[in-house]
Chain A
Amino acid sequence: MKKEPVSDRRKFILDMARGIGIATLGGFVWSAYLDEATASQLTLRPPGALKEDDFLKTCIKCGLCVEACPYDTLLLAKPGDKKPLGTPYFVPRDVPCYMCPDIPCVPVCPTGALDKEIVTTDGKLDINIADMGVAVIDDQSCIAFWGIQCDACYRACPILGEAITVEYSKNERTGKHAFLKPIVHADKCTGCGMCEQACVTEKAAIFILPREVALGRAGDYYIKGWDKDDEKRLENAKEIKTTTEISKQKAQDKLNGDFLEDIY
C-alpha cells in the first residue's frame, strides 16, 4: 500500500484532537487530586476565616498572617501536613490561639480570606466573637467526670465562666464526694484551644473541632416548647413530601402472613 502524505488540514485536526484529549486526561487527574487534597475537614483556621469553601478559593497562601502572629501559633500547611497545601492552620495542643485583642493576623490578609468584618462588633475588632472551632469534651477520658478535682480547662479559658463553666453534682459512686464537671457553651466558645493545651490527660480530653464538624443541626422542624421566639423558626420549615408508597397490606395480614418463613 502506498503511503499517503498527511494533509495539512488533517494534521491540524489531529494535533488539535490530541491536544484536547491530553488536556482532558490531565484535567481529570488534576481535578481528582484537588478534590482529595482539599477534602480535609478538620483544619482549624485563624480567626476571621471565611467558610472553608470560600476560604480555599480566596486564600492566596502568602503567609502574612503566619508572620503577623506573635505567638507562632499559625502554621502554613507544608507537603506532608495532610492539610490543604499552603493554607494557614493551627494545632492548639501545641500552640493555641492566645486571642490578641488587636487580632494582628486578620488585617494583614491581602485577599480578605481572613475577613475583618467577621471579627468586628460596633466598628471595633472583637476577638471574643471569633469562630475558629468549638471545644468538645470526651467525658470518658476527662478525669473531672471520674470525680478527680481538675479545672485546668476552666482556668485556662480566656472567656472564663462563659465559654466553659463548672457544674457541681453529687458523685453517686462514692456517695460522699462532688463532681466538678466542665461544660462547654458552644455559643460563647471561640475555639482558641487554650483548654486543649492546658488539659492534663495524656491525650487531651477536651479538644477543638471546626464548628461544622463538632455541632449538629436540629433543623426547622423542631422547636422548643413554651418559647414564642423559637416558634418563629417554623416559618422557615418547608413541607416534606414522602414519595415512598405506604404499604397497602393491613397490619394484621402482615402479622398473620408467612413472615416467619422469610426469616427462616
Chain B
Amino acid sequence: MKTLWNNYRYLILRRITQIGILILYFGANAWGWTILQGDLSSSLILNTVPMSDPYAVLQMLSAGAVLAGDLLLGVAVVVLFYMLIGGRAFCSWVCPINLITDLANYTREKTGMNKLKGVKQPASRNIRYWIIALSLIISAVMGLTAFEFISPISMVHRGLVFGLGFGWAAMLIIFLFDLFVLKNGWCGHICPLGGFYSIIGKFSLIRVHHDAEKCTGCMDCKVVCPENQVLSMINKDSLPVLSGECTNCARCIEVCNDDALGFSIRNLTKNSKTGE
C-alpha cells in the first residue's frame, strides 16, 4: 500500500484534481453550485474571480473582437497562476483530454505496441507551434476564433458539463489517434493549447529538478515521460527541467527509485543559461 502511494501519489492527486474540477463545473450547470461556473474557456470562481483561456482571447484579438475588461482580468489571473505553477500543469492537472490520452498511452504500454518494429514517430513536436501561428492567421482572415470552433478540448469539456451530443466522437478520435497513429500524438505534438501553455511555462517557477549524483541511469523516467525530450539532462547534469513543454505531471518523480528527481522552486537569481 505504501509503495502504491509512493509510486502513484502524483498520479492519484492529478486524477482527483482533474475529476474534481470536472465535478465542480458539472455541479454549477446541473445544481447551481457557484464554486466554479462556466467551462475551461471562461469561468467564474465563487461569483467573483474571473478566469479566461488566454489562447482563446488571443484568437479573439486576432479575429478583431472588442475585448471586455473582465476578460482581460480573467486572462491575467490564468497567466499569472500558470507562470507560478508551470504552464502545462494545465495539461496534466486540469485538462480532461489528459484522461483520454493517458488511457491511450497505458493501452500502448500494456499491449506492447510501443515495442513494435517499424512503427515510427514521423511527426515533429513543433507542429503545435505551427498550429498556433496558423490559428491566429485564420482567425484574422475569417474573423472567427479559429481553434475554438474545432477544439476537441472544449468540445469534450463543454460536453461533459453541458451535454455531450456527438462529443464522444471527438474523444474516440483522439483516443484512436494516440493509440494507433502517433504516441503522445494529440497532447505532445498537435494541441496548440498545450503549445501555448508551453510558452507560458518557459517562465514558470515550479520545476522538476534532477540530481545527477543520485541517478543510476535506469531511464525509467524517460520511458514514462510524455514529453521525454525535456529530460535531456538525465544522468548527465544536475539541472532543473527548463523546457516549457514539461507538463509537471510528476510521473518521472514517481517512477524514480533513486530519489534523483523532485519538485523544487526555480532559482531565479543565478545563471540564466543553465537555470541554476
A33 contacts across to B, CB distance below 8 A: 150
Taking the complex as formed, is B37 at the interface, i.e. its CB lies under 8 A from any CB of chain A?
yes
Please determine whether A31 and B141 come into contact, CB atoms closer than 8 angstroms.
Answer: yes
Please determine whether A60 and B149 come into contact, CB atoms closer than 8 angstroms.
Answer: no
- Binding stretch for chain A, among B40-48, B234-242, B259-267: B40-48
Please determine whether A53 and B143 come into contact, CB atoms closer than 8 angstroms.
Answer: yes
A215 contacts across to B, CB distance below 8 A: none
Q: How far is it, in angstroms, between the C-alpha of A112 and the C-alpha of B56 when the chains are bound?
A: 15
Please determine whether B28 and A85 come into contact, CB atoms closer than 8 angstroms.
Answer: no
A209-253 interface code vs B (CB 8 A; 1 in, 0 out) = 000000000000000000000000000000000000000000000
Q: A60-B42, A63-B39 are in contact. Are A78 and B149 (CB under 8 A)?
A: no
Q: A23-B130, A26-B134, A66-B162 are in contact. Are A34 and B146 (CB under 8 A)?
A: yes
Please determine whether A112 and B138 come into contact, CB atoms closer than 8 angstroms.
Answer: no
Give the number of chain B interface residues (Cβ < 8 Å).
54
Please determine whether B146 and A58 come into contact, CB atoms closer than 8 angstroms.
Answer: no
Please determine whether B74 and A79 come into contact, CB atoms closer than 8 angstroms.
Answer: no
A112 contacts across to B, CB distance below 8 A: 66, 68, 71
Q: How far is it, in angstroms, between the C-alpha of A27 and the C-alpha of B150 when the chains are bound?
A: 13
A64 contacts across to B, CB distance below 8 A: 37-38, 42-44
- Binding stretch for chain A, among B99-107, B166-174, B218-226, B250-258: B166-174
B64 contacts across to A, CB distance below 8 A: 57
A258 contacts across to B, CB distance below 8 A: none
Q: A57-B60, A67-B37, A84-B149 are in contact. Are A62 and B138 (CB under 8 A)?
A: no
Please determine whether B155 and A79 come into contact, CB atoms closer than 8 angstroms.
Answer: yes
Of B39, B65, B145, B155, which is within 8 A of A62 by CB?
A: B39
Q: How far is it, in angstroms, between the C-alpha of A75 and the C-alpha of B158 when the chains are bound?
A: 11
Contacting residues of chain B (41-85) with chain A, CB-CB under 8 angstroms: 41-44, 50, 52-53, 56-57, 60, 63-68, 70-71, 74
Q: Shortest Cβ distance from B178 into chain A, in angstroms?
A: 19
A36-64 interface code vs B (CB 8 A; 1 in, 0 out) = 01100000000000000110111011111
Taking the complex as formed, is B142 at the interface, i.e. its CB lies under 8 A from any CB of chain A?
yes
A4-48 interface code vs B (CB 8 A; 1 in, 0 out) = 000000000000000100110011001101110110000000000
User: Which A residues fall within an 8 A CB radius of B?
Assistant: 19, 22-23, 26-27, 30-31, 33-35, 37-38, 53-54, 56-58, 60-64, 66-67, 75-76, 78-81, 84-86, 108, 110-112
A-B contact pairs, 15 of them (CB 8 A): A30-B138, A38-B144, A53-B143, A56-B143, A57-B60, A57-B64, A57-B144, A58-B60, A67-B28, A67-B29, A76-B162, A78-B163, A78-B165, A85-B150, A111-B71
